[in-house]
Amino acid sequence: MFRNRSEIILLVYGKGGHTAQMQRFLSQQPSNEYCYVALTNSEKNFPQITKKYFCIEARDKYSWIKNIFVTFAYLFVSLFQMCRLMSKYKIKGVISTGPGLAIIPCIICRLIGAKVVYFESWSRFYKPSIAGRFVYRLAHLFFVQHKTICAKYPKSIYNGRL
């Protein structure tokens, strides 16, 4: 059952700016070199993505009370979706453009031996994101898009804006 799984690169991104960053990333990639599958809460589709799976946001930005319930729901949904993805595909790597919903997929991908590539959000100039703080310790490659945030991530790679 697991022998004939196709190899994929998992793309994890959220709504808004995270989607725009992923769109810019994909536009710079050679066509048909990799098979991309997305785990996202964005409704936007890209032609390079073979299949898209839904995941909820990791937290509610506006209510700490809702965060209790949203976080548990996120854990359940993201674990369930990752189990589905791992049973269907062989994940060679994960690329994320910075939302909190990337934490669980990056942890799982690191545990199964897949490469983890993370782009800290272009909206971060001085203060690291919550997801960035977690994934920085896991990532094989960690890119920042502003030189001012390099001090917070000593082993990061400054790449400029996507």
Report helix, strand or coil for 34. Answer: coil
**Range of the structural domain that residue 29 is part of:** 6-158
Residue 1 within any structural domain of the chain: no
Whole-number Å distance between alpha carbons of 62 and 86: 33
Whole-number Å distance between alpha carbons of 12 and 42: 10
Q: What is the pLDDT of residues 6-61, one digit of tens each?
A: 999 999 999 988 899 999 999 998 877 789 999 999 999 999 999 999 998 887 77
pLDDT at position 124 is 67
Pair 104, 75: CB distance under 8 Å:
yes
The domain that holds 115 is classified in CATH as 3.40.50.2000
Residue 114 within any structural domain of the chain: yes
Lowest mean pLDDT of 90-94, 141-145, 157-161, name the range: 157-161
Residue 107 within any structural domain of the chain: yes
Into how many domains does the chain fold? 1
Residue 27 within any structural domain of the chain: yes
What's the farthest any 2 CA atoms get from each other in the chain? 48
Distance of CA 115 to the CA centre of its chain: 12
Residue 17 within any structural domain of the chain: yes
Residue 41 within any structural domain of the chain: yes
Pair 105, 12: CB distance under 8 Å:
yes
